[in-house]
Chain A
Amino acid sequence: MPKLTVNDIEVDVEDGSTVLHACEAAGIEIPRFCYHDRLSIAGNCRMCLVDMERAPKPIASCAMPAGDGMVIRTDTDRVKKAREGVMEFLLINHPLDCPICDQGGECDLQDQAMGYGLDGSRFSENKRAVDNKHMGPLISTVMTRCIHCTRCVRFATEVAGVPELGAIGRGETMEITTYLEKTLTSELSANVIDLCPVGALTSRPYAFTARPWELNKTESIDVMDAVGSNIRVDARGAQVMRVLPRLNEDVNEEWISDKTRYAIDGLRRQRLDRPYARGRDGKLHSISWEEALKTVAGKLRKAKASRVAAIAGDQCDAESMFALKSLMARLGSPHLDCRQDGAKIGGARSGYLFNSTIAGIDDADALLIIGSNPRVEAAVLNARIRRNWLATQMPVAIIGDNVDLTYAAQWLGVEAALLDDVLSGNNKFAAKLKKAKRPMIIIGMGALTRRDGASVLGRARQIAEAYGVVTDKWNGFNILHNAAARVAGLDMGLVPGRDGMDVAGMAAAAKAGRLDVLWALGADEIDYSDFASSFVIYQGHHGDAGAHHADIVLPGAAYTEKDGIYLNTEGRVQYANRAAFPPGEAREDWAIIRAVSGAIGKSIGMDSLAEVRDALCEAVPHFAMPDQIDAVKWAKFGGRAKLSSKPVTSAIENFYMTCAISRASETMAECRRAQQADAKGAVAAE
């Protein structure tokens, strides 16, 4: 542990730290452009110069390893002058177009120029101008502003794992570009916008729409996948303008996926802003809340409890699911389910959680992926796997689609029977799994939504037990969910009760005419043609599949428009906050269910969100413990039946459109088009 003196303050830093870390430990802020905590050190911007005793000239603190006994000064005239010199050079070729630059107000260069810039320019020659580069539908470029810090290049290469960005040319003609200006093929591409310290890479969908100081910033949780990325929702009035990542070392670090960031324009389209009922003409007509509540209550009162069912969708908050569960209990119906896709999970918690936790990925030393493509199902999580692989060359194998995960993975095949081979040691990867100290298995929904999903889960459990995936100190048995609501639903027992039907059972019953009423809470991913004979109550926020088949539509709030609890794939309880109000007459979802229960005369109680939460936390105590993950008891789960010969695939093919919001998003549609055009181009080129 080297001990340094920084401005007469003595600091101890970890081995392998840099002088910059030491300065930060001493509480001194060092200006920087190229240096970034999560990227490799480039040392090319020279802004972080400090004075070191006995050094003939200032040193770049970001690239200088901290040594014992170093005496550093950051407050000398020479340091100030050196940094001012660097700043002057950076500004020589930087257009001073801050008034029309989207980075204005949150620009590192702008901020640091306040500290180290001159008040005027001494450069009277022509400035350099650089052509803007095409980087796809998400990233807007003004390359004249680029100061060549190469953060974006390092991010694409190191974190995203798509080495497509680079710096061509040299000296004054150096330019950042993708290879032949192709679209970046990463699900994390837009993080380069946050990384860019100037306005060279800015957000294309957000271009020229708002200034940072006009926005109300709300800390919240993402629901586009089951990672539960921590986000900041920036809204102006009723409109969500943008979503930015928020730091959470255990979940998303400081990255978010492109869908998390850009699906939000879907919040403005296809919205359900008032109640609708299907008229005799087969079309939806807007009605008042009174009428809506009366109709729904009438239907529910008339129907026999055994002929009423409820399905919760993939993005529901825990409160509304709990309210729905309470309502079904009051009605006396056991038919409820939160697994739209029919995943064969539930019961013991260890059988449906990402037990190792996301941060636990860093400790794994072998990985078997079954029926999942984490790159599209949980892009941020995939970046963590890649980081481990980069550092340790951890062996990774896939049973399922042979996809490019941005790291080397051995593709074992698509047959589910391979699980039996691995279990019996009759597979080349079995030896690697055996040798590993902390092996990990990730099972995706692609493997669990199959007819034999329970058996796949059971086989995976047997493998886990046989190969030391689960020990006293390590649990590497992981289920990767795709639905943000799923774990909360399973935890509170939003599954068929005694003699209750699951989604498939409901569909069969509806086809046979034995289901009178279906309450679909934000459920847009089921096949509604099965429910043609039932009275469908759709409660949700988008005019997607559910609303199209509904007999009555109750307009709810989207995830940015309500306070809600979400559990991510690890079972981490996180509280999301409202950033804007729902449009029109739409209401928060728990309140709608509460109102219906009152209208039927079977009130579920719970008159405020706080009361819902109290009841929820009483029923399931860990909902009261945000951001805390306790080890779960290992149990016997899963089936033992023979595995079918159907190939194992991953659940999501189209990363950009997985929910009602992202399907309504124009930005996501454009990304999809660009992706398909690229794929077509690649085929044509071959």
Chain B
Amino acid sequence: MSIDDRIAADQPKTFKFTAKNEKEIKRIIAKYPKGRQASAVMPLLDLAQRQHDNWIPMAAIEAIAHRLEMAEIRVLEVATFYTMFNLKPVGKYFLQACTTTPCWLRGSDEMMRCIKDRYNIASGQTSACGRFSLLEVECLGACVNAPILQVNDDFYEDLDYETTGALLDSLEADKPLPAGSVIGRSGSEARGGGTTLAAVKTGKASKSTAKKRGSAHA
């Protein structure tokens, strides 16, 4: 895969951060010690991606390199290392499907099959309508609610074939379902609701336990 395969063929000539982002950049760079401004490369790439339809053109990479006094290749190295940075245009809904072992054991294949059935796309491809792009990614770090599909910034959890379909329906209608578990669990509680400490009353409970322990000790 040469660089031409990694980046978009059609590149904008120039890139300029918006005034709002410029302000944000100042804030980000100020977080790092003087002379260590290069540490801001990842937040800046993220800003550029958000500003530019969820992908980073080469002009932005050059602008960031210039801004952070880094060599262009150093910025490109970072941008190509992380799958979260897109160097080619993606659809409005960028689907990052986790297929690492826990998600796979919990049925990520079904989730993938649903996406494939609908749009006939494989990892790295964009649907014919141009609105959906799929990327198979490694662990998204939410294994408790596997399998996970990340849509732009939001996690959708506990998916199977049907619920993935429902999610995609809602995206097609531009009325995305609320993020989180699609089967309605709160956080990573058990399926039927919380079970731990169910008998303990909320509120003063912790205080009284502490006291009891204290007295027992005495």
**A contact residues vs B (CB 8 Å cutoff):** 130-131, 133, 157, 163-170, 173, 175, 177-181
Interface residues of B (CB under 8 A from A): 1-3, 6, 58, 71-74, 76-77, 80-81
- When the two chains form the complex, which single residue of A169, A170, A179, A180 contacts B71, counting CB atoms closer than 8 Å? A179
Q: Which residues of B contact A181 (CB under 8 A)?
A: 2-3
Report if A163-B76 is in contact (Cβ < 8 Å); known contacts: A169-B1, A177-B3: no
Q: Is the CB of A175 within 8 A of B1?
A: yes
How far apart are B217's CB and chain A's nearest CB, in angstroms?
A: 41
Known contacts A131-B1, A179-B76, A180-B58, A168 near B6 by CB under 8 Å: yes
Chain B residues positioned under 8 Å from A133 (CB to CB): 2
Asked whether A178 lies within 8 Å of B81 as measured between CB atoms, the reply is no
Q: Pick 21 A–B contacts, CB within 8 A, sort by A.
A: A130-B1, A131-B1, A131-B2, A133-B2, A163-B71, A163-B73, A163-B74, A164-B71, A164-B73, A166-B71, A168-B3, A168-B77, A168-B81, A169-B6, A175-B1, A177-B3, A178-B73, A179-B76, A180-B3, A181-B2, A181-B3
Docked CA distance A163–B2 (Å): 19
Chain B residue with Cβ nearest A143: B2
Chain A: interface secondary structure?
mixed
Chain B, residue nearest A170 (CB): B81
* Contact partners of B1 in chain A: CB under 8 A: 130-131, 169, 173, 175
- Alpha-carbon distance A178/B72, docked complex (angstroms): 10
CB distance from A156 to the nearest CB of B (A): 9
By the criterion CB–CB under 8 Å, are A169 and B73 in contact? Answer: no
Quick one: closest A residue to B82, CB to CB? Answer: A170
Pair B58/A169 contact, Cβ less than 8 Å: no
16 other A-B residue contacts (CB within 8 Å) besides A178-B73, A179-B73: A131-B1, A163-B71, A164-B73, A166-B73, A166-B74, A168-B3, A168-B73, A168-B76, A168-B77, A168-B80, A169-B1, A169-B80, A173-B1, A175-B1, A177-B3, A179-B72
Could you tell me the distance in whole angstroms from the C-beta of B87 to the nearest C-beta in chain A? 10
Given A131-B1, A175-B1, A179-B71, residue A166 in contact with residue B81 (CB < 8 A): no
Distance to closest chain A CB from B16 (angstroms): 15
- List of B residues within 8 angstroms of A169 by Cβ: 1, 6, 80-81
Most B Cβ at <10 Å: residue of A163, A168, A175: A168
10 A-B pairs closest in CB distance = A163-B71, A166-B73, A131-B2, A168-B80, A179-B73, A166-B77, A179-B72, A170-B81, A169-B80, A168-B77
Bound Cα distance from A133 to B2, whole angstroms: 8
Q: Are B73 and A165 in contact (CB under 8 A)?
A: yes
Asked whether, in the complex, the Cβ of A167 is within 8 Å of the Cβ of B77, the reply is: yes
In the complex the two chains form, what is the Cα distance from A157 to B3 in whole Å? 20
A390 CB, min distance to chain B CBs, angstroms: 14
Distance (whole angstroms) from the CB of B5 to the closest CB of chain A = 8
Complex Cα distance, B77 from A164, in Å, reads 11
Which residues on B sit within 8 Å (CB–CB) of A180?
A: 3, 58
Across the interface, which residues of B come within 8 angstroms of A164, CB to CB? 71, 73
Residues of A with C-beta under 8 A to B2: 131, 133, 175, 177, 181
Q: Which residues of A contact B72 (CB under 8 A)?
A: 179
Complex interface: chain A residues within 8 A of B58 (CB): 180
Taken together as a complex, chains A and B put the C-alpha atoms of A131 and B6 apart, in Å, by 12
Contacts of B77 in A (CB 8 A): 166-168
B81 partner residues in chain A, CB cutoff 8 A: 168-170
